[in-house]
Structure 1
């Protein structure tokens, strides 16, 4: 019989697990409510119609739907790092941690992307531009995950349970969104602060004009 020594998790590893689990539960509850066919009485989600630059991901090809869901998960991972370490991870860090789509899945066929984190003040972008030297990359859209941190000088914001708000472990409320751009490899790599003014389309998992 062989003895196996089981090392106790470090306090940091335990904190990472707790924060990650909490964010995953919050995201799971929201996705369930957003896609539930049963209306919730007195729900706090805002009701509004889609604007011309907004659409639901179900209208896009399956490859784009997969990318959208990978970006939803990777955003949670980035928020976990931000909660614990106080800074947003760069694209190389997410790739090294094996987080798709920053770390490409070799089993999937599709355009290869160059991912970059760019930041200006409280606005953080994770920008994915398809590589131009490939046939698939010429037709693939560019992708943007946009995060806006709260203004510390402004009054605290009331948290709204929807796709455009997330909350860090310290209670800070983030404005978050996922966008795509048909220009693909021609999209410049710089900070995007008003995506709709630059031809980006905002994507939703569920139509925000329908109350959950």
Structure 2
């Protein structure tokens, strides 16, 4: 009697199935990675989609709100120059006397500006005379003592003083200014404030 060896095709089929599964898995992982890369770095045609829920772009604001945002940004060089000269952040009355916007136009804008500070973070908060008008907050954060130098490149959020100190700059708006009291605001995003940008921030360099 002769013996015949019968080979099951299961080995080859199993190998093909495993290869197919691995291929599909690799394609899915690659697609997800590409999507996340485009979302974070590309932004597509709508850069606002990379913003967090409490962030917005200045171009979405009303004309008067855009003017206030531009004034706050425009006055920053004078604030930083005064900080570099005196080693302290100036009071709003000093800025108003020096013609620095928007502090110098506070009366005309119906805004009262005050300065508050905790540790290395300074708040310039503007409260409107009209309760239905928005409140504004300029937050400037210096590094804590003994921190290593911040190598972040200069952009909308990162400024650098002549002595090399890197500043983190944030502009916030609260839609209902009448609900805001005078005082330091440690975490604006948890208290109804909206952070305003000219362009979406770098998701890697942005820290809060």
Q: Same fold (TM over 0.5)?
A: yes
What does residue 114 of structure 1 align with? Answer: 112
2:54–2:194 Cα contact (<8 Å) kept: yes
Q: Is the Cα contact below 8 Å between 2:106 and 2:113 reproduced in 1?
A: no
Partner of 1:185: 178
Contact map agreement 1:50 1:209 (CA 8 A) in 2:
no
Asked whether the 8 Å contact 2:131–2:179 carries over to 1, the reply is no
> Which runs of 4 or more aligned residues in structure 1 lie more than 3 Å from their structure 2 counterparts after TM superposition?
none
Q: Distance in 1 between matches of 2:144 and 2:131?
A: 39
**Alignment correspondent of 2:125:** 127
Q: Which structure: larger Rg?
A: 2
Q: 2:138: which partner in 1?
A: 145
Matches within 5 A, 1:23-42: none
- The alignment partner of 2:104 has SS state of coil
Match of 1:83 in 2: 84
In structure 1, runs of 5+ residues without a counterpart are: 1-45, 132-136
Q: For 1:104, what is the secondary structure of its paired residue?
A: helix
Specify the SS of the correspondent of 1:67: helix
Q: Report the CA distance shift for 1:96/1:189 in structure 2 as closer, same or farther (over 3 A).
A: same
Q: Decide which moves more: 187-196 or 150-159.
A: 150-159
Q: Aligned partners of 2:175 and 2:96: how far apart in 1?
A: 24
Deviations 1:11-43 (A, max 9, x none): xxxxxxxxxxxxxxxxxxxxxxxxxxxxxxxxx
**Length-normalised TM-score, structure 2:** 0.70
Structure richer in helix, relative to its length = 2
Aligned length: 157
RMSD value over aligned CA atoms?
2.0
- Residue 95 of structure 1 corresponds to which residue in structure 2? 96
Give the C-alpha shift of residue 104 in structure 1.
Answer: 1.2
1:105 Cα deviation (Å)? 7.5
Structure 2 unaligned segments of length 5 or more: list them. Answer: 1-39, 44-49, 204-208
Is the Cα contact below 8 Å between 1:180 and 1:200 reproduced in 2?
Answer: yes
- For 2:126 and 2:165, locate their aligned partners in 1 and report how far apart those are by CA, in whole Å: 26
Give the superposition deviation at 1:140: 1.2
Paired position in structure 2 for 1:55: 56
Output the CA distance in 1 between the equivalents of 2:76 and 2:171.
10
SS state of the match for residue 162, structure 1?
A: coil
